[in-house]
């Protein structure tokens, strides 16, 4: 299922933001049109996908956000909104109006809220977030983006309990954005990050809070016992994958994921189905993997990668490395963002 | 199949600028006795040639000006002279339709007529009623008749005559004509002027080809949307499908298969040859149809193919598409039929400059 | 029969083509009249045409949706979806349809309604259409594979186009003033070469868009041509 960016507008300016780098040079005010939303809903329905995933910027800033959600729900889609939770009273009221009419079972997990460490967030943002979480907390799955090695997850214990958030914390890591200059966790530090995540296991397990790892982590660098801890921490859903996510912009361009947001950018209309879209980008992933197994030299010979237990880390890392080698780069025939 | 072009009257209620019906006959309407003679000759022919059918095209002037009773007489004469063979006679009518009424349709059904040929001119002032050529009243009556025919289950096809005035309006005319023709048959012909051209309607072969070319480009985009538009369908069938369906003027085959009968019983090769006074085969009062078909003067029409193939048209790769064109075309210029059509350049230009490049198919005899 | 400001109109010819009886409808122009007409029992009346161009869907009440066979709403716009979403079930009932003007917003609203299963249509004649947007909506109606409700006059044209011999006037899909039948084609062709008679889309329009002609040209031509193409597509698809 693709992510649909409703708008490039945002309320925050997070240092790790993938979308910000993508948005640089684009039309900030561009918002997804109704006709395009309906087109995407039709495309999903034909493909048998029943979930609409709204992203941004900040998707709730889209002028028709409440109507978009209401529309998607009326078409029997499950709606998941990736939000900062920082929204005006008017938008909050709009969301309230939608969800009051929806059975509880359809709302569970409707929001994926990326929460920044409150210690470094402006007070006004924390206040707005508090209002949102107070009202919708039980429908919110919390998330956190790791962009520095010495991150702290401790505040989530408080947040999850206080607001009744879903007790699974989605953890993403800042990857390089190919051909852009952004802050990211270096490949050599990914194992450090994983160990630090694992260090929170004793506290979180007592609170029955599990973690879900986003894409691009490599399996290696952790010992088998550390992997065991992570396995329990994730309630058995630990995966070390890098796969195309499919992000669709408000201008109906599509790219494989944010780290690769300048690569193989196409128009949604170039494809006859979501499946065809996915196959196209999976093929590209395969071509990259054929050039280099992963982010480390050892990945080429890695038995775990060969067995499908690990994808070899984030493809954006790999492309950056290949870029430096020039010769291999030419074979991939990568086309950049036409803009 | 024998094709009889039957002109029972020279009278017409319309006043068309390009009409080449030379109103020279003393007899304006064929009298009933002579009509009976014609039908008795038809009966003779049918019995002498069992298994052969006859196409009997009512032409004019305007045949409907005779009134439905005239056609009822024809119906009765069939039953009198060839009741057992009448299914082999295929009546057709070419009419401007402005006089059509339900009574006509009733007798047409009895004569086994299910479709009527007509013509249509959307441009103002070229055809119409009276000296002022009231074209709007004319076209309204024509449209009304078309509606009546459709409601009564009749089909129609029509001819469009390209005059000089049409040349700047190719695209508009194509759409107007195809909007009007209801998916039946539409034939585009160049105007044929014999003698004076007081209204300056004549078009050169090149001009006609250019007009056809512009229209063909539109037709080719959607041939299924516009079936039965000729000459395009003819060329399509002949060149691309390789199933030749050529008009009489291009078939090279009219020598023994056409017969014109005028209101006085006079016969000729076809309507044009009679109107222009080019050839006469005598009168059905005195001759049988077989005698008319065996007239020695018809041999010229047969000879023409070989004369042209070894002469003017020798080596022409498009011979199979036109066979030198209508034998009557060269008559105004040369005084005989042993030359190729004056429209040769039109065929060449249309095929080589438009049809072949646009379709990507080259004619290969 | 008239009451208050009611008038009687002829039901769309299209309804009769589909086998429905040739009934008439009451045309009302106020919410109060709509409420009253909704409660009326008259076997001669086939439905209600509520001509309320200043209203939006959120302004309607449940009482406005009669048990009668049909309710056709001529509105100025749909309004915000969230505001009328609770009326969707009533709007999707058989016999209910919503007609909106062909402005950009109106066309967007029509697409939303159609995709949600609400029968709808374009209200020509009151606003100048956004022709490009309208053609886009036409393509949606003809080519979209996901289920969606019909949009008039596209549905009428697509259902009744039978090939090159067809000659349609899609005004037959709309109400007409009582006793006023369809326009005869002889009037058009009697006028010779005009913007209408020489339009590629004539056989599916029949002059229905002639009100939009101006000395500057025929802005409806491309749209009418596209309408013919979609009609051919649907006809071919249904006759494979």
Q: Which residues have CB under 8 Å from A53's CB, separation 6+? A: A1, A2, A3, A4, A80, A81, A82
Q: State the residue for tokens 């408000």.
A: A250
For residue A332, the model assigns a pLDDT of: 65
CA–CA dist A108, A264 (Å, integer): 35
Closest CA to A114 of A159, A144, A92: A144
Judge contact between A264 and A315, C-beta under 8 A.
no
Calculate how close chain C gets to B217, using CA atoms only, in Å: 14
* A287 belongs to a structural domain: yes
For residue C22, the model assigns a pLDDT of: 61
Calculate how close chain C gets to B304, using CA atoms only, in Å: 40
- The two tokens of residue B14 are 């319309």
CB contact under 8 A, A97 and C82: yes
Distance of CA A98 to the CA centre of its chain: 24
Q: Is the peptide bond before B61 cis (omega within 30 degrees of 0)?
A: yes
* B212 belongs to a structural domain: yes
For residue A22, the model assigns a pLDDT of: 57
**Residue C150 in this model has a pLDDT that exceeds 50:** yes
Domain that holds residue B29: 2-302
Q: State the residue for tokens 């950018």.
A: A265
CATH number at residue B239: 3.20.20.70
* Residue A170: strand, helix, or coil: strand
* Residue A175: strand, helix, or coil: coil
- The two tokens of residue A54 are 């709204």
Q: Which residues have CB under 8 Å from B191's CB, separation 6+? A: B18, B161, B162, B163, B164, B201, B202, B203
Give the count of domains, chain A.
1
Please report residues of C whose CB lies closer than 8 A to that of A96.
Answer: none
Which own/partner contact pairs does A121-129 have at CB distance under 8 Å and 24+ positions apart? A125/A11, A125/A12, A125/A84, A125/A86, A128/A85, A128/A86, A128/A87, A128/A88, A129/A84, A129/A85, A129/A86
- Mean pLDDT score of chain C, rounded to an integer? 87
* B215 belongs to a structural domain: yes
CA–CA dist C143, C230 (Å, integer): 8
Please report residues of C whose CB lies closer than 8 A to that of A97.
Answer: 82
* A204 belongs to a structural domain: yes
Most confident of A278-292, B77-91, B142-156: B77-91
Higher pLDDT, B244 or A106: B244
Calculate how close chain C gets to B99, using CA atoms only, in Å: 15
Judge contact between B331 and B278, C-beta under 8 A.
yes
Give the count of domains, chain B.
1
* B21: confidence class by pLDDT, cuts 50, 70, 90: low
What mean pLDDT comes out for the span B295-308?
A: 90
For residue A326, the model assigns a pLDDT of: 65
DSSP string, B300-334: HHHHHHHHHHTTTTTT-TTHHHHTTS-TTTTHHHH
Judge contact between A80 and A109, C-beta under 8 A.
yes
Using the Cα atoms of residue C202, residue C203, residue C207 and residue C208 in order, give the sign of their dihedral.
negative
Higher pLDDT, B121 or A182: B121
Judge contact between C100 and C152, C-beta under 8 A.
no
* A103 belongs to a structural domain: yes
What mean pLDDT comes out for the span A322-331?
A: 66
CATH number at residue A265: 3.20.20.70
Q: Which of B120, B147, B182 sits opposite C186 (nearest CB)?
A: B147
What mean pLDDT comes out for the span A282-296?
A: 89
Mutation to test the B interface, candidates C193, C204, C221, C222, most B Cβ within 10 Å: C193
CB contact under 8 A, C81 and A101: no
**Residue B22 in this model has a pLDDT that exceeds 70:** no
Q: Which of C85, C86, C111 sits opposite A35 (nearest CB)?
A: C111
* Residue C195: strand, helix, or coil: coil
For residue A182, the model assigns a pLDDT of: 80
* B321 belongs to a structural domain: no
User: What share of chain A in percent tops pLDDT 90?
Assistant: 44
Please report residues of C whose CB lies closer than 8 A to that of B223.
Answer: none
* A338 belongs to a structural domain: no
For residue C40, the model assigns a pLDDT of: 78
* B20 belongs to a structural domain: yes
* A78 belongs to a structural domain: yes
Domain that holds residue A210: 3-324
Per-residue model confidence as pLDDT tens digits over B204-258: 999 999 999 999 999 999 999 999 999 999 999 999 998 887 777 777 777 788 9
* A69 belongs to a structural domain: yes
For residue C148, the model assigns a pLDDT of: 96
**Residue B52 in this model has a pLDDT that exceeds 60:** yes
CA–CA dist C98, C55 (Å, integer): 12
Burial class (CB in 10 A: 0-12, 13-18, 19+), B51: exposed
* Residue B68: strand, helix, or coil: helix
Residue in chain A closest to C117 (alpha carbons) equals A75
**Residue C186 in this model has a pLDDT that exceeds 80:** no
Query: Among A34-48, A101-115, B320-334, where is mean pLDDT lowest?
Result: A101-115
For residue B20, the model assigns a pLDDT of: 57
What mean pLDDT comes out for the span A59-83?
A: 93
What mean pLDDT comes out for the span C49-65?
A: 86
C191 touching B (Cβ < 8 Å): yes
For residue C18, the model assigns a pLDDT of: 59
Judge contact between A281 and A253, C-beta under 8 A.
no
What mean pLDDT comes out for the span A11-39?
A: 75
CA–CA dist C151, C111 (Å, integer): 9
Pairing of strands A266-267, C120-122: unpaired
**Residue C14 in this model has a pLDDT that exceeds 70:** no
* A338: confidence class by pLDDT, cuts 50, 70, 90: very low
What one-character DSSP code corresponds to residue A23? H
ipTM (interface pTM): 0.91
CB contact under 8 A, C112 and A46: no
* B146 belongs to a structural domain: yes
Closest CA to C117 of C138, C134, C92, C93: C92
CB contact under 8 A, C80 and A42: no
What mean pLDDT comes out for the span A104-119?
A: 84
CA–CA dist C90, C106 (Å, integer): 20
* A335: confidence class by pLDDT, cuts 50, 70, 90: low
For residue B197, the model assigns a pLDDT of: 84
Query: Among A35-49, A95-109, B29-43, B260-274, where is mean pLDDT lowest?
Result: A95-109
Closest CA to B303 of B274, B335, B327, B279: B327
- The two tokens of residue C130 are 């956004």
* Residue A248: strand, helix, or coil: strand
Q: Chain B interface residues facing chain C, Cβ-Cβ under 8 Å? A: 120, 122-124, 135-137, 139-140, 142-144, 146-147, 169, 171-173, 175-176, 179-180, 182-184, 224-227
DSSP string, B88-124: GEEEEEE---TT--HHHHHHHHHTT--EEEEE---ST
Pairing of strands C7-10, C24-28: antiparallel
Mutation to test the B interface, candidates C200, C227, C233, C234, most B Cβ within 10 Å: C200
Q: What are phi and psi for residue B83, nearest 5 degrees? A: -65, -35
CA–CA dist B140, B179 (Å, integer): 15
Residue in chain A closest to C105 (alpha carbons) equals A34
Which own/partner contact pairs does B353-356 have at CB distance under 8 Å and 24+ positions apart? B353/B209, B353/B213, B354/B209, B354/B212, B354/B213, B354/B216, B354/B217, B355/B216, B355/B235, B355/B239
Q: What are the helix and strand counts (H, E) for chain B?
A: 15, 9
* B95 belongs to a structural domain: yes
Query: Among A88-102, B157-171, C124-138, where is mean pLDDT lowest?
Result: A88-102
Higher pLDDT, C180 or A54: A54
CB contact under 8 A, C80 and A67: yes
pTM: 0.88
Q: b/e map of C84-115 (b: 16 or more CB within 10 Å)?
A: bbebbebbeeebbbbbbbbbeebbbbbbbbbb
Residue in chain C closest to A48 (alpha carbons) equals C146
Most confident of B64-78, B325-339, C203-217: B64-78
CA–CA dist A323, A329 (Å, integer): 6
C80 touching A (Cβ < 8 Å): yes
CB contact under 8 A, A34 and C111: yes
C86 touching A (Cβ < 8 Å): yes
Q: b/e map of C154-186 (b: 16 or more CB within 10 Å)?
A: bbbbbbbbeebebbbbbbbbbbeeeeeeeeebb
Closest CA to C1 of C38, C31, C37: C37
Q: Which of C82, C145, C146 sits opposite A70 (nearest CB)?
A: C82
Judge contact between C9 and C175, C-beta under 8 A.
yes
**Residue C4 in this model has a pLDDT that exceeds 90:** no
For residue C176, the model assigns a pLDDT of: 79
* B187: confidence class by pLDDT, cuts 50, 70, 90: very high
CA–CA dist B279, C85 (Å, integer): 83
CA–CA dist A11, A26 (Å, integer): 17
**Residue C182 in this model has a pLDDT that exceeds 70:** no
* B338 belongs to a structural domain: no
* B357 belongs to a structural domain: no
Judge contact between B154 and B109, C-beta under 8 A.
no
What mean pLDDT comes out for the span C162-178?
A: 85
**Residue C27 in this model has a pLDDT that exceeds 50:** yes
Residue in chain C closest to B171 (alpha carbons) equals C198
For residue A339, the model assigns a pLDDT of: 39
**Residue A59 in this model has a pLDDT that exceeds 50:** yes
Please report residues of C whose CB lies closer than 8 A to that of B136.
Answer: 190-192
Residue in chain B closest to C185 (alpha carbons) equals B143
Per-residue model confidence as pLDDT tens digits over B97-133: 999 999 999 999 999 999 899 999 999 989 999 988 9
CB contact under 8 A, A101 and C85: yes
What mean pLDDT comes out for the span B144-166?
A: 93
Which own/partner contact pairs does A117-124 have at CB distance under 8 Å and 24+ positions apart? A117/A151, A117/A152, A117/A155, A118/A155, A119/A152, A119/A155
* B276: confidence class by pLDDT, cuts 50, 70, 90: confident
Please report residues of B whose CB lies closer than 8 A to that of C197.
Answer: 122, 175-176, 179-180
């Amino acid at each position: 299922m693709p992510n649909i960016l409703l708008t490039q507008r945002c309320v925050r300016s997070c240092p790790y933001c993938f979308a910000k780098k993508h948005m640089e040079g684009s039309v900030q005010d561009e918002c997804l049109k109704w006709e395009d939303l309906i087109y995407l809903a039709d495309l999903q329905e034909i493909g048998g996908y029943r979930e609409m995933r709204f992203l941004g910027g900040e998707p709730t800033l889209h002028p028709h956000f409440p109507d978009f959600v209401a529309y998607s729900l009326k078409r029997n889609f499950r709606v998941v909104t990736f939000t900062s939770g920082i929204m005006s009273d008017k938008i909050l009221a709009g969301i309230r109006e939608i969800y009051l009419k929806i059975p509880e079972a359809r709302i569970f997990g409707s929001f994926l809220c990326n929460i920044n460490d409150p210690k470094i967030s402006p007070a006004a943002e924390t206040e707005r977030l508090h209002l949102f979480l107070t009202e919708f907390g039980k429908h919110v799955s919390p998330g956190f983006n790791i962009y520095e090695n010495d991150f702290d997850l401790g505040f989530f214990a408080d947040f999850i309990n206080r607001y009744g958030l879903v007790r699974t914390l989605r953890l993403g890591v800042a990857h390089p954005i190919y051909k852009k200059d952004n802050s990211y966790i270096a490949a050599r530090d990914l194992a450090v990050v994983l160990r630090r995540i694992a260090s929170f296991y004793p506290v979180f397990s007592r609170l029955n809070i599990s973690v879900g790892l986003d894409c691009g982590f490599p399996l290696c660098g952790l010992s088998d016992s550390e992997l065991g801890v992570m396995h329990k921490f994730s309630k058995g859903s630990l995966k070390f994958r890098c796969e195309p996510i499919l992000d669709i912009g408000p201008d109906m361009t599509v790219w494989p994921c944010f780290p690769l947001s300048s690569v193989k950018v196409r128009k949604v209309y170039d494809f006859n189905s979501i499946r065809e879209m996915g196959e196209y980008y999976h093929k590209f992933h395969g071509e990259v993997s054929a050039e280099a197994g992963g982010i480390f030299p050892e990945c080429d010979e890695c038995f775990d990668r060969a067995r499908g237990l690990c994808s070899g880390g984030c493809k954006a890392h790999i492309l950056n490395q290949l870029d430096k080698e020039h010769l291999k780069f030419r074979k991939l025939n990568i086309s950049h963002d036409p803009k | 199949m024998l094709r009889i072009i039957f002109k029972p009257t020279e009278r017409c209620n319309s006043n068309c600028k390009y009409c080449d019906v030379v109103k020279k006959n003393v007899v304006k309407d064929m009298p009933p006795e002579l009509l009976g003679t014609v039908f008795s000759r038809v009966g003779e022919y049918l019995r002498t040639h069992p298994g052969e059918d006859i196409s009997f095209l009512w032409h004019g002037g305007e045949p409907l000006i005779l009134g439905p009773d005239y056609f009822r007489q024809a119906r009765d004469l069939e039953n009198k002279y060839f009741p057992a063979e009448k299914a082999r006679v295929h009546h057709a009518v070419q009419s401007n339709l402005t006089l059509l009424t339900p009574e006509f349709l009733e007798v047409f059904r009895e004569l086994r007529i299910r479709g009527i040929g007509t013509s249509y001119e959307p441009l103002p002032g070229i055809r119409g009623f009276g000296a002022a050529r009231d074209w709007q009243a004319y076209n309204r009556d024509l449209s009304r008749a078309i509606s009546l025919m459709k409601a009564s289950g009749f089909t129609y096809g029509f001819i469009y005559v390209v005059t000089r005035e049409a040349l700047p309006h190719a695209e508009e005319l194509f759409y107007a004509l195809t909007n009007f023709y209801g998916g039946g048959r539409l034939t585009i012909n160049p105007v044929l002027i014999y003698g004076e051209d007081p209204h300056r309607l004549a078009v050169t072969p090149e001009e006609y080809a250019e007009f056809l070319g512009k229209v063909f480009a539109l037709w080719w985009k959607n041939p299924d949307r516009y079936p039965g538009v000729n000459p395009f369908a003819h060329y399509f069938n002949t060149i691309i499908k390789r199933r030749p369906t050529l008009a009489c003027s291009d078939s090279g085959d009219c020598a023994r298969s056409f017969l014109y009968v005028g209101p006085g019983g006079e016969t000729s090769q076809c309507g044009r040859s009679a109107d222009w006074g080019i050839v006469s085969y005598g009168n059905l009062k005195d001759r049988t149809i077989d005698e008319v078909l065996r007239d020695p003067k018809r041999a010229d029409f047969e000879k023409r193919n070989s004369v042209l193939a070894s002469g003017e048209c020798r080596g022409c790769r498009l011979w199979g598409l036109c066979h030198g064109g209508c034998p009557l075309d060269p008559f105004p210029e040369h005084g005989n039929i042993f030359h190729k059509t004056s429209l040769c350049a039109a065929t060449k230009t249309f095929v080589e400059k438009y049809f072949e490049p646009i379709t990507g198919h080259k004619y290969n005899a | 029969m008239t009451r208050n400001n009611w008038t009687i109109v002829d039901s769309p010819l299209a309804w009769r083509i589909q086998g429905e009886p040739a009934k008439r409808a009451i045309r009302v122009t106020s919410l109060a009249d709509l409420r009253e007409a909704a409660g009326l029992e008259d076997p001669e009346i086939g439905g209600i045409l509520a001509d309320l161009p200043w209203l939006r869907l959120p302004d309607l009440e449940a009482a406005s949706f009669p048990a009668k066979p049909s309710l056709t709403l001529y509105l100025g716009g749909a309004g915000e979806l969230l505001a009328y979403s609770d009326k969707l079930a009533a709007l999707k009932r058989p016999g209910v349809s919503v007609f909106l003007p062909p402005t950009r917003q109106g066309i967007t609203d029509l697409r939303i309604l159609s995709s949600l299963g609400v029968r709808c249509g374009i209200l020509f004649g009151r606003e100048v259409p956004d022709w490009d947007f309208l053609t886009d909506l036409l393509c949606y109606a003809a080519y979209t594979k996901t289920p969606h409700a019909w949009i008039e006059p596209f549905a009428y044209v697509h259902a009744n186009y039978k090939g090159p011999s067809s000659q349609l006037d899609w005004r037959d899909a709309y109400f007409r003033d009582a006793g006023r039948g369809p326009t005869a084609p002889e009037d058009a062709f009697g006028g010779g070469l005009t913007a209408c008679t020489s339009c590629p889309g004539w056989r599916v329009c029949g002059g229905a868009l002639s009100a939009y002609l101006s000395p500057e040209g025929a802005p409806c031509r491309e749209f009418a041509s596209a309408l013919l193409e979609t009609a051919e597509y649907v006809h071919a698809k249904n006759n494979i």
